[in-house]
Amino acid sequence: MSKIQIKVNDNGSLRISGDVELLDGEGNVYDTKPTFSLCRCGMSNNKPFCDGSHKGKFESAVRVEKDL
């Protein structure tokens, strides 16, 4: 099985890369490409996918906490 990568983009979407199946709340499968972006801001008109509506209106830069 290939490794799936999910990247939390600064001020933007969740970028998904790899062989993943995306399901809705009822278990129906969304058509996806090998790489796609999921909305994180709630402003997309194409949820659950990102359509860029967040640009200039959403700020979030999540980082992994580093051990000291």
**pLDDT tens digits, one per residue of 39-66:** 999 999 999 999 999 999 999 999 999 9
Task: Provide the pLDDT for residue 57.
Answer: 96
Nearest one of 30, 43, 38, 42 to 13, comparing CA atoms: 38
Percent of the chain's residues with pLDDT above 90: 94
Cα torsion 55, 14, 40, 10: sign: negative
Place of tokens 């790899």: 18
Query: For residue 45, what are the CA distances in angstroms to 1, 18, 61?
Result: 33, 24, 22
Paired residues of 10 in beta bridges: none
Q: What is the pTM of this model?
A: 0.89
Q: In angstroms, rounded to a whole number, what is the distance separating the alpha carbons of residues 12 and 36?
A: 13
Instruction: Please state the domain extents for the chain.
Output: 1-54
